[in-house]
Amino acid sequence: MKAFVTGVTGQDGFYLTKLLLDKGYQVHGTIRRSSSFNTERIDPLISEYEEGGLLKLYYSDLLDSSSLNNLINSIEPDEIYNLAAQSHVAVSFKNPLYSTQTSVVGPITLLEAVKNSKKDIKYYQASSSEMFGGIDSNTLNENTKFRPKSPYAVGKVFAHEITKVYRESYGIFGVNGILFNHESPLRGETFVTRKITRAVGRIKNMLQEKVTLGNLEASRDWGFAGDYVEGMYLMMQHSIPDDWVLATGETHTVKEFAELAFNEVGLNYQDYVLIDSRHQRPNEVNYLLGDPSKAKSELGWENKTSFSSLVKKMVEEDVLLAEREKVLLEKGLLKPTWEYPIKN
């Protein structure tokens, strides 16, 4: 089996690629040219699988329709997982055009390539709980109305709907995975969970003094990325293409996350967290709680990692990371970054 994965260098890109390689797939992934290294997450997979031809990487971009089209035509994958996106909600308010363009141009390009292919290629679209807008405390499922509140979320609604349009109009096997927040030790460092656990590790090792956050009252349904990519895979193996919510069915505030993360190393978050209005968004999604019962009954998917074990896992990894940073600093091999340069 051949899978084509966009966004292979991202958090989910790593976990999904690992899962597919473990299942014997050949994985073809797109990476972006960057002036600095951007394959850090998948470097262990590259060293293990690239030489044997099981992992192949290509330069491309969601906005570069011709390269995507050429790649799909020449690779003829069995499955496409479209994970690439400018995935940071706060940044999407600063770069609204780019953020929405990637979610519009990318899916249409890929769906057109699928439509025009002689092969029956399955398509997975990375939809998001941000599409719901989180305006009340109702549990959200596949039938809940979308009320997007950011350029990111509007782009995702478009991608979601166009996948359904291609499914209904051309009989394409297109699925939308409506995933609630999922985190891991590989989460980008500007998302709130990782920002907190990075700070915990660094504060514990005296590499940082404080961490500056925005809205501590926002509530999210947080799961573990490793569990969620299993759900993506199961959606693609289902007999009928459809849309499924993946969530834990529990919600916690940013404050609860911070409290638990600092507690893990015996510290009180109130001594280290500062609030800065620069981290507030023009429009906030206050509360998200998902209902994964359709995924459970139809796909047999279930969240396996509790909130407390997720926080523990992330803190443990970031304490180790900070310990390694400290050694490098002491040897003069790393420049001190006392004002840790995390902005979002």
Q: Using CB under 6 A as the criterion, which residues of the chain lie in contact with ligand F7E when the complex forms?
A: 87, 89-90, 128-130, 180-181, 190-192, 195, 213-215, 218, 220, 254, 279, 281, 284-285, 344
Closest among 252, 230, 266, 225 to 308, alpha carbons compared: 252
**Is the separation of the CB atoms in 254 and 191 below 8 Å?**
no
- Known catalytic residue at 128: yes
Is 40 a binder of ligand NAP (CB under 6 A)?
no
Query: How far, in Å, CA of 38 to CA of 13, rounded?
Result: 12
Query: How far, in Å, CA of 194 to CA of 46, rounded?
Result: 24
**Catalytic residue selected from 99, 124, 130, 264:** 130
List the helix and strand counts (H, then E) for the chain: 11, 13
Among positions 3, 71, 83, 295, the unique one binding ligand NAP when judged by CB under 6 A? 83
Looking at residues 122 to 181 of the shown chain, list those that interact with ligand NAP (rule: CB under 6 A): 126, 128, 179, 181
Q: Which residue is nearest to ligand NAP (CB)?
A: 10
Q: Pick one of ligand NAP, ligand F7E, none as the site partner of residue 12 (Cβ within 5 to 8 A by kind).
A: ligand NAP
Spell out the residues 6+ positions from residue 242 whose beta carbon is closer than 8 angstroms to its own.
175, 235, 298
**Residue 254 carries which side chain, given as an amino acid letter?**
V
Q: Pick one of ligand F7E, ligand NAP, none as the site partner of residue 293 (Cβ within 5 to 8 A by kind).
A: none
Nearer to ligand NAP, 87 or 251 (CB): 87
Helix ranges restricted to H, 95-247 = 96-116, 151-170, 192-204, 225-237
- Known catalytic residue at 152: yes
Dihedral over Cα of 240, 243, 247, 251: its sign: negative
Q: Which stretch binds ligand NAP (CB under 6 A): 10-18, 71-79, 234-242, 305-313?
A: 10-18
**Catalytic residue selected from 92, 128, 129, 219:** 128
Catalytic center residues: 128, 130, 152
Task: Give contact residues for ligand NAP (rule: CB under 6 A).
Answer: 6-7, 9-13, 32, 34, 38, 61-63, 83-87, 102, 126, 128, 179, 181-182, 188
